[in-house]
A and B are shown apart, each in its own frame.
Chain A
Amino acid sequence: MEINIENIYKNFDGKKVLKGVTLKIPNKKSTIILGKSGCGKSVLLKIIYKLIFQDKGVIKYNSEENVDINNFSMLFQYGALFDSLKVWENIAFQAINEHDNSINNLKEKVIENMESLGLTSDNFYKYPSELSGGMKKRVALGRALFKKPQVIFLDEPTTGLDPINSNLINELIVKTIKEKEITAITITHDIKSAIKTGDLFYYLEDGITEISDTCNNLFKTTNKKLNYFLKGEK
């Protein structure tokens, strides 16, 4: 699914968070939105997902303004797993509630899904509180992929993970995007992760899209703000 975001504005209690963001998300590619903390990345992601609504501007999904958000799924920054449900119930949450399949059938599908993410079946009946940070992220990714989305939204996928687990999650994301041929939109400030998983890059600062580029050109940019951001300088 190709997504065109045109001139998006969003205010919260008088504070201008997005001030005319324009960007294009190509079909079946991984688009990364870089930016400092608090620059409006998460708000933009939720607006594209239609979890919140913009004050001004248009978003077109395959040239249409209306879209069935059931074609989307999201990996939340801290997983957002349901504490009161077991791992398998988290992964198959939507299917269980929509009575899509028999429970045994769903359990088999969940096991397949878990195996593809490197999760062993002994985690099946565990609660999220019994899992490590990396495992929680993988379960959350499993939940996001279980509904076979056309577009996956990744909100800081490597936040809070050690380098090994970050790498693992990055590899899973790359593998998933390629194998399942889905469009991915990632917001992050983890440059390493962005380079590993992205095809196209946008840099957002002060609620405005500063630049878009491919991975090869990212470090050759003449944009001062992006250069400082990439080097971690003020």
Chain B
Amino acid sequence: MRFFQIPGLILTLLCFTLTLVHAQEEGKVHIGGYGSIRYEANDLDNQVNTFTFRRFVMTTYVPITGRLSFLSELELERFRLLELEKKTEGESGVTVEQAVEGTGGSEISLEQAWLQWELSSALRFRAGGILVPLGRFNINHDDNIWMFPRRSLVDRGAPVLPVKSAWDELGMGFNGRFMVGEQAQLSYEMYVVNGMVLDVEVENKYRTRIDEGMKRVAELKFEPFTGSFSSDAKEAKALTGRLALSPTLGTEVGLSGYYGRYTPQYLPAEQVGSVGVDFLINRGSLALEGEYIYTSMGDVRSVASAFAGQVQNQVAEVVLEDPDGPGIEDEIEVALSGLSDSRQGYWLEARYAFSPAFLRGTVLGQEEQPLWYLGARWEQVWYNNLVQEAAFADGALSEFVTSDRQVNRLSLGLTFRPTPLVGFQLAYERTWTADGQSLADVVNFLAAEPDEDVAQAFLFGVTFGF
């Protein structure tokens, strides 16, 4: 069996590579990508000033025929290394060794991968991992096309989107565009997808302690995630779509939505519904762009109660005594995260393009048509009944704390583009909450202390596409 499998696999991979090379020579496979690297300095006590290779995304686009095409995006986020070692020895019993070596904060994900069949420009069938067309950012999320090095709060930092961007789901549906007269264009996207789900993230922690021995903690964190690309355990599909009208080139207004169940099969059905309105206005060198999203997750208290009934106990602990040493403490903890009854937010961005004449004879004016952008982005997000704590024991909620929260951010930036696909971004951002509450509970990119309600940061980013 193995004799056939291994050489067959190697031969297939070899031939597949040859096919890709052959196809690329013919101009059939287009390899592209984008990425961003940045340096961030901020004034929070626990937030380090650091370089971050934020993401590198490889894009493959294959026009199989004039009407059939395939596109995929493979994302490496803060990624450098993932190494797996495995060894089995059969001497006086069987010894199995497994070691995983990786870099912190790293992630590999398939951002999209779909096949499209273009019946006409007004009717295209698309199937696969599809970007959810909620708002305008998620479907245009490439780092190198944006003014600021950090993504918006609504889409990423304090997500009003049910799942933070880039959010893709497995499904199929249609998209297309119609010309309305000579100037106007109407476009749509409509898909049925497996849909987002309250899924679990398992975190293992190993802690050494003075005089108390070792502690091993397994944290089971249940929070909203992209739905399964395997089998949809909740057996309920979600519907998502966007309708956009572009009266003239450079102007667009969009209306979008998402609706579907998000609780897994073992919990009572609860739906998530989102609506979005977005726009873009270009007038000469000035561009205004914005997005508003509202999301409702239903009654999260009843979700938490049912969850408690299913899980029974939030924490389980056991201490393994060792007569010769301090012993080991084992703990399993279950947590609910990222839920609120509803949330809403918006971002508005204004940017102005210019090309200073006095720089044209300098090194900054050497490329064909370099451009500078001066911009500002204003963002606000509100959470209604954001779950702060859900403690439970013996199948019942013992403590359920929610609060209404708000977070604001103002970003100012200057971006230099020697060529349209490459940007050098300098930005200042000030993020703060209302009523002196900590930033820690409402944003996912700042390690704020309980008394830190304002954060200021300078970012220098390099972003590129090819």
Q: Do A and B bind each other?
A: no
